[in-house]
Structure 1
């Protein structure tokens, strides 16, 4: 088929190949470019061959390109789009919309397009620009699982308008009842498959699962209305430690701990509506809350192995009372007492002649006072006033751990942890097979079983304590470098300040943040 002819050249199509034949010299590349613009179906594939032909001998036929169909449909590499390229004047190809769509569909099907073919209008194609004629349906990923937990109130004092911390309304013990709702999970949803323009199914990604994190010994799981719901096996105190929910046993002492109760030791949390009478002790694995607004006078020992201690009133220790906590200590005031918290100590009013030890010690920075005694922290000490006008000696000390010594201690404790974990696993292996047959055991066998369970419990308690001690040392090392003693109003003469190995005793009234700058105290 002849495409074009003039006095100089003729263009011939044969089996979709375009040839040029020179008839007379003098036809330029610029002249040929005008022909290409008028004949968009010509696709030049060899510019070098064209140049050679125009400069060659007349009569020679040379292949220079290909003859495009009036309509081309090309499928994208990802098979999600089919695009139509119009290689001629659209008005010559299309004049009836219905016939146009039928023609496009036939061409699309010939190249394998089976899905998502669009219906076009004449206006869609009149510009001659590429037009999308089919679109695939992308797969839709499933929704991820969603987890919601019962919100536990923050264990923080309410800050009043004058800046004081109100320690009298803390919701310290968060108690729940048996079968109470604790959380739920909406399971991950399956994805919706897609399909490409060739009709091939594209698999979808299912939503990601998220685990409900809880202690299976105290919390159970059941399905309700397509959700996984967790509930309390028994009533007790709900705690969230490192994102894991658990319920601990809880007892309530309606009156005082004293003659009627004797000393109390309990594996769980204790709430005391009254006080702890002088000379008596309470030890619990969980939190301890003493609600009497008058506080505690002369109690011997108040100790929470792994939880917090909250004393709504103050402590009059008479140089006898010791309060220890595996977590934090919250108290209104303390007189002549010893307080040791593995985490922080919070005091609302004052500390008088007491020995305090924690990571951080916070005495109300609006008007709190530390007068006399010895306060030791590993990170920071905060108060409004230290010492008094009588220049009573008041020691505020920040201890800095030695990295090498700390590393040795950590290694030693980790070795003990590994040893304990092995011992617990060995003991578990002895009792686990026996559990289904407890009712069939004789008296001696049952006693052996109970003794072994008690050993496991003791070793688990020891393991928890070691792990907490390691965490404390690691936290101290991480926090090294920003230690400070903050006294917002008055630091009286007689106040002894020490950070690491650097120390001084104040000789005049001052205030501010005391810290190490270039290895020296900024006093």
Structure 2
């Protein structure tokens, strides 16, 4: 009888998480094997965990089913990071970080002020995660979530437990990822105009009208605009909420340490450290988000411009039927890519300069040994030595920065573009240094980076 290992073989993936059985030769009518034979073969390979015993009979009865995955390990589930759960007034409690991103813009605009002694937040501790196991039975440790120390924000206090946060004044909540402030409120009951002028306030700012072009608002807390923002400058150390949309005309700036919530962005310039939440459209704009870009409600389309998100982009449509050029950056924003390019050029220039300086210094040293140096040559040698020291420092700094960029570029493996409807041609997709130009339309797809290749996968 032919040994089972001459007919079948097992391929194990490099990460030891999956085993696939293949058939090396066809069975003749006289040769038969049992499930126990296949199980013995599996154990000969040292595979003891995640064996799909219910599929082993199929190996013997259905040649068309091969190759067949007959064992799979369990990947570890990493722990969740600790986070600060805001508790808004009127029992509007946010139970997790994702819910905070889904808060309706109009509800946020109408959040009433908090009062002295009111509970406004609670720390949710990090979790340890669940370990996994590969097909050889080796345990794979989970990465525990990162915890954080709850600290009081402006005009808040922490209770004795160290987990609950209370307001110490009547004011307006301003929520950041790991701290909540309560600020006094500055309110304009109408449009911002010359009578009011520019605003620079240590608390939250609430404009019940529009912000015309040319005006500036600087706020230590949140900025809430009930109307439209034209090509104005809004800079907030909290979040920014614009009910009727942003019409930037390529000018002005919307900048926040928190999130941006708005209905649409047209020719706007946006830089936020948190998420960008848009309920209609992003048109011909430059948008940079340190978190996610959400544009999947209403029209939910992104057309033209450059959109950067450190995490994910969730959108209905990207581009349009006119093939308007649109660029999406995932994981690393455009500015960071430009900085990386500049440091690479600086390093190359410094290395070239170092070669020239080293050669010049060597020639001066040689001349000094043989015939001596004139006074001006001695000064030149001193200058060259100093320039060598400065150039070497420039090289070291550039190398350190490039190492930092390299580390940053490798941290966006889980970033994704989720297309809920359609992505059109002439859209450029960048994952760090990797780029893919979309040349044909795709519907209902996820775009992600895998093994150095940008993949377009159907949902």
TM-score, length-scaled by structure 2: 0.51
Are 2:198 and 1:263 equivalent residues in the alignment? yes
Are 2:334 and 1:396 equivalent residues in the alignment? no
Q: 1:238 to 1:478 in 2, by over 3 A?
A: farther
Which residue is equivalent to 1:176? 114
Displacement, 1:364?
1.4
Alignment partners' CA distance in 2, 1:326 and 1:400:
17
Where 2:418 maps in the other structure, the secondary structure is strand
Are 2:386 and 1:386 equivalent residues in the alignment? no
Displacement, 1:218?
2.5
Alignment partners' CA distance in 1, 2:272 and 2:206:
19
Which residue is equivalent to 1:286? 221
One of 176, 183, 187 as aligned partner of 1:248: 183
Q: 1:476 to 1:251 in 2, by over 3 A?
A: farther
Comparing 270-279 with 166-175, which one deviates more in the overlay?
166-175
Which residue is equivalent to 1:11? none
Which residue is equivalent to 2:261? 330
One of 445, 450, 457 as aligned partner of 1:517: 450
Which structure 2 residues correspond to residues 23-422 of structure 1 after superposition, within 5 A?
151-152=88-89, 153=92, 166-171=104-109, 173-177=111-115, 179-182=116-119, 215=152, 218-219=155-156, 232-239=167-174, 246-292=181-227, 295-296=228-229, 298-304=230-236, 306-359=237-290, 360-364=292-296, 367-400=299-332
Q: Is the 8 A contact 1:237 1:249 kept in 2?
A: yes
Q: 1:169 to 1:217 in 2, by over 3 A?
A: closer
Are 2:428 and 1:496 equivalent residues in the alignment? yes
Cα offsets for 1:479-507 (capped at 9, x unmatched)? 53101122121111111111122212222
Q: Is the 8 A contact 2:242 2:261 kept in 1?
A: yes
Q: Is the 8 A contact 2:280 2:298 kept in 1?
A: no
Where 1:169 maps in the other structure, the secondary structure is helix
Alignment partners' CA distance in 2, 1:268 and 1:256:
19
Displacement, 1:302?
0.9
Which residue is equivalent to 1:466? none
In structure 2, the gaps of 5 or more residues are: 1-84, 122-148, 344-404
Alignment partners' CA distance in 2, 1:521 and 1:220:
47
Q: 1:323 to 1:244 in 2, by over 3 A?
A: closer
Alignment partners' CA distance in 1, 2:450 and 2:423:
20
Cα offsets for 1:4-49 (capped at 9, x unmatched)? xxxxxxxxxxxxxxxxxxxxxxxxxxxxxxxxxxxxxxxxxxxxxx
Alignment partners' CA distance in 1, 2:321 and 2:210:
34
Which residue is equivalent to 1:482? 414
Which residue is equivalent to 2:387? none
Alignment partners' CA distance in 2, 1:172 and 1:503:
42
Q: 1:345 to 1:150 in 2, by over 3 A?
A: closer
Cα offsets for 1:194-214 (capped at 9, x unmatched)? xxxxxxxxxxxxxxxxxx977
TM-score, length-scaled by structure 1: 0.45
Displacement, 1:397?
1.4
Q: What RMSD over aligned residues (CA atoms) do the two structures have, in Å?
A: 4.1
Alignment partners' CA distance in 2, 1:387 and 1:221:
48
Where 1:276 maps in the other structure, the secondary structure is coil
Q: 1:503 to 1:235 in 2, by over 3 A?
A: same
Q: Is the 8 A contact 1:287 1:309 kept in 2?
A: yes
Q: Is the 8 A contact 2:181 2:221 kept in 1?
A: no
Where 2:107 maps in the other structure, the secondary structure is coil
Q: Is the 8 A contact 1:337 1:355 kept in 2?
A: yes
Cα offsets for 1:44-69 (capped at 9, x unmatched)? xxxxxxxxxxxxxxxxxxxxxxxxxx
Larger Rg: 1
Alignment partners' CA distance in 2, 1:495 and 1:290:
32
Alignment partners' CA distance in 1, 2:421 and 2:284:
20
Q: 1:301 to 1:505 in 2, by over 3 A?
A: same
- Structure with the bigger RCO (C-alpha within 8 Å, sep 6+) is 2
* Count of residues in correspondence between the two structures: 269
Alignment partners' CA distance in 2, 1:149 and 1:510:
39
Q: 1:155 to 1:312 in 2, by over 3 A?
A: farther
